[in-house]
């Protein structure tokens, strides 16, 4: 059983049925039914009414996802659903270069006519139960608001930064790139740059695979709204041997009052190598008639700040971006590698039960971890570190974005033995801050 053939969750279906609502899967091969679902999702996110092209595009690229809706049983047959959710399985990059399957959750909407009646709760809980039944160890999402998902066991596990660089102050002080930047088209990138995105995403813990729909969004070839892409330019970076190693898609705005004052908005900057990142950043920062470069979804430890003559030219706004919910802590903790050996006992509290319990994580000198479930009252080995935490805090620690010692200071992780957080920090730390560079 997997995301594409798992049946609808009977507990949520029964609860919603008692409220006059029907929880069901959409047959995405049924054009009318899937189109109605897409219209409901667009309305839920205040998007434009989807065009025929948009519907055709979704029917082609997103139909493979598990597509769930809630219908008001008093509405006519064939009416749009009053709630939507879309899920699929995808690999998540982990510290150490490995990956783990996650249950990606997207398109959570409830119609304003039906809000705050528990529909989203039933949708979320049904997805978590289904993911767990399918053996997927983690659920993942990007959130419209930071206030919604903590109650379901999610926590921010990777952060991203929006940066604005004042190019009048910043001169390039980084290494010269070995290759060259050339103009291309978004369509050509769509065709030829997917392997570059793939190797870039494997470099960073926190990235997921771009399926066809997400890849098209990354290249802005997705028909979402043709008028929004008219001003986009695309450049590619080829290394000294001529191999494509990165690309950027950007638009230049402003200049109305003073033609020497434009802003570059970088929609994507994807680099498989540091050399490609250097070449692309330098190109963008040295564009004539431009006084600011804005880039979105950048790593919070972006090295570009160290490559400018004046680091105060950079302003960063970090925010929570990837939210994870651990469903199987044994599989999750064994999938990543660690930066230092440790024996660590974790007492995990999970109101939904999935991750509840005491477990021992043993990390050897190579950084590989094995996890043993312990009885709740089992003795803790004499030399082991020992932390008590919620399933949310486990997700916050998981990719190394937030140290255990920060959460101990915050009072959300309890150190059952002194010094345990510092030892956990050394083990969970990742060489680079985890990053998710797309929305899904
Ligand atoms: C992964 C994603 O897709 S993120 C996108 C989320 N969707 C959106 O932002 C689109 C606009 N908003 C909506 O469609 C809806 O308001 C939703 C989906 C956020 C919530 O749907 P509802 O059916 O109203 O939520 P529901 O009634 O099940 O509420 C469940 C719980 O979440 C809380 N909650 C719901 N929405 C919010 C919110 N926006 N902010 C804070 N808390 C919220 C409720 O108070 C309730 O809390 P409790 O059960 O602990 O008392």
Q: Which of 57, 149, 247, 283 is catalytic?
A: 149
Average pLDDT over the chain reads 96
Residues 6+ apart with CB under 8 A from 329: 137, 346, 348, 355, 357, 359, 371, 391, 394
- Whether 130 and 260 share a structural domain: no
The DSSP letter of residue 230 is T
Q: List the alpha helices (DSSP H) in 45-179.
A: 52-61, 119-133
**Count of domains in the chain?**
3
- Whether 265 and 338 share a structural domain: no
- Whether 305 and 334 share a structural domain: no
CA of 321 to the centre of ligand 1 (A): 17
To test the ligand 1 pocket, which listed residue (108, 146, 352, 439) has its Cβ within 8 A of the most ligand atoms? 108
- Place 239 in a pLDDT band, splitting at 50, 70 and 90: very high
Instruction: Report the candidate in 313, 297, 213 with the shortest Cα–Cα distance to residue 249.
Output: 297
Q: Give the position, in ligand 1's atom list, of the atom nearest the Cα of 143.
A: 4
pLDDT value at residue 229: 85
Instruction: Report the candidate in 80, 62, 64 with the shortest Cα–Cα distance to residue 72.
Output: 80
Question: In this structure, what CATH number is given to the domain that contains residue 392?
Answer: 3.30.1050.10
- Place 22 in a pLDDT band, splitting at 50, 70 and 90: very high
For 200-219, the pLDDT digits (tens) are: 999 899 999 999 999 999 99
In a domain, 23, yes or no: yes
- Whether 58 and 176 share a structural domain: no
- Whether 333 and 305 share a structural domain: no
**In angstroms, how far is the first alpha carbon of the chain from the final one?**
23
pLDDT value at residue 94: 98
- Whether 267 and 335 share a structural domain: no
Catalytic annotation present for 154: no
- Place 225 in a pLDDT band, splitting at 50, 70 and 90: low
Q: Concatenated DSSP letters for 114-134?
A: GTTSSHHHHHHHHHHHHHHHT
In a domain, 240, yes or no: yes
In a domain, 361, yes or no: yes
For 328-381, the pLDDT digits (tens) are: 999 999 999 999 999 999 999 999 999 999 999 999 999 999 999 999 999 999
Q: Which residues line the pocket of ligand 1, CB cutoff 6 A? A: 44-45, 105-110, 115-121, 141, 143-145, 147-148, 151
For 101-153, the pLDDT digits (tens) are: 999 999 999 999 999 999 999 999 999 999 999 999 999 999 999 999 999 99
To test the ligand 1 pocket, which listed residue (16, 121, 157) has its Cβ within 8 A of the most ligand atoms? 121
Instruction: Evaluate whether ipTM surpasses 0.95.
Output: yes
pLDDT value at residue 228: 77
Question: In this structure, what CATH number is given to the domain that contains residue 55?
Answer: 3.40.630.30
- Whether 349 and 424 share a structural domain: yes
CA of 408 to the centre of ligand 1 (A): 29
In a domain, 146, yes or no: no
CA of 289 to the centre of ligand 1 (A): 44
Question: Nearest C-alpha to atom 42 of ligand 1 is from which residue?
Answer: 148
In a domain, 197, yes or no: yes
Distance CA 176, CA 168 (A): 20
- Place 222 in a pLDDT band, splitting at 50, 70 and 90: confident
pLDDT value at residue 226: 67
The dihedral through the CA atoms of 416, 418, 420, 422 has a sign that is positive
Partnered with residue 91 across adjacent β-strands are 101
Q: Give the position, in ligand 1's atom list, of the atom nearest the Cα of 83.
A: 14
Residue 229, Cα to own-chain centre: how many angstroms? 23
For 91-106, the pLDDT digits (tens) are: 999 999 999 999 999 9
Task: State the pairing for strand pair 21-25/262-271.
Answer: unpaired
Angle at 428 between CA 147 and CA 197, to 5 degrees: 75
- Whether 122 and 183 share a structural domain: no
**3-class state of residue 418 by DSSP:** coil
For residue 358, the enclosing domain spans 329-428
- Whether 192 and 236 share a structural domain: yes
- Place 223 in a pLDDT band, splitting at 50, 70 and 90: confident
In a domain, 3, yes or no: no
Question: Nearest C-alpha to atom 45 of ligand 1 is from which residue?
Answer: 116
Q: Are 135 and 335 in contact (CB under 8 A)?
A: no
- Whether 300 and 186 share a structural domain: yes
Q: Are 197 and 215 in contact (CB under 8 A)?
A: yes
Catalytic annotation present for 159: no
């Amino acid at each position: 059983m997997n995301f594409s053939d798992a049946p609808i969750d009977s507990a949520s279906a029964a609860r919603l049925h008692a409220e006059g609502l029907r929880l069901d899967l959409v047959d995405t091969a049924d054009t009318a039914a899937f189109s109605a679902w897409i219209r409901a999702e667009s309305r839920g996110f205040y998007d434009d009414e989807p065009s025929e092209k948009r519907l055709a595009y979704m029917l082609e690229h997103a139909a493979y996802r598990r597509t769930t809706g809630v219908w008001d049983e008093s509405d006519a047959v064939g009416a749009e659903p009053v709630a939507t959710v879309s899920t699929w399985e995808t690999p998540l990059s982990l510290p150490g270069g490995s990956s783990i399957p996650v249950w990606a959750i997207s398109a959570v909407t409830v119609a304003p006519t039906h809000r705050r009646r528990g529909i989203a709760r039933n949708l979320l809980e049904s997805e978590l139960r289904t993911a767990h039944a399918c053996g997927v160890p983690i659920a993942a999402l990007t959130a419209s608001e930071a206030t919604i998902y903590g109650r379901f066991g999610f926590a921010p596990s990777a952060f991203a930064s929006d940066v604005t660089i004042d190019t009048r102050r910043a001169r390039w002080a980084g290494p010269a790139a070995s290759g060259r930047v050339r103009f291309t088209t978004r369509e050509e990138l769509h065709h030829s740059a997917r392997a570059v995105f793939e190797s870039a995403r494997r470099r960073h813990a926190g990235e997921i695979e771009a399926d066809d729909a997400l890849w098209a969004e990354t290249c802005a070839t997705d028909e979402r709204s043709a008028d929004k892409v008219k001003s986009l330019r695309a450049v590619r970076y080829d290394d000294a041997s001529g191999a494509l190693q990165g690309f950027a898609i950007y638009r230049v705005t402003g200049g109305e009052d003073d033609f020497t004052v434009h802003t570059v908005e970088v929609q994507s900057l994807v680099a498989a190598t540091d050399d490609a990142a250097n070449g692309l950043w330098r190109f963008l920062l040295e564009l004539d008639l431009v006084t600011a470069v804005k880039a979105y979804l950048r790593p919070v430890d972006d090295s570009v700040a160290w490559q400018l003559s004046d680091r105060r030219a950079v302003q960063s706004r970090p925010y929570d971006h990837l939210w994870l919910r651990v469903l199987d802590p044994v599989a999750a903790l064994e999938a990543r590698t660690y930066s230092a050996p440790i024996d660590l006992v974790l007492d995990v509290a999970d109101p939904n039960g999935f991750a509840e319990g005491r477990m021992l994580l043993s990390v050897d000198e190579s950084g590989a971890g094995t996890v043993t479930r312990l009885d709740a009252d089992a003795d803790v080995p004499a030399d082991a570190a020992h932390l008590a935490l919620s399933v949310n805090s486990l997700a916050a620690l998981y990719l190394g974005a937030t140290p255990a010692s920060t959460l101990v200071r915050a009072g959300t992780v309890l150190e059952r033995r002194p010094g345990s957080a510092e030892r956990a920090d050394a083990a969970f730390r990742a060489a680079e801050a985890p990053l998710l560079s797309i929305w899904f």
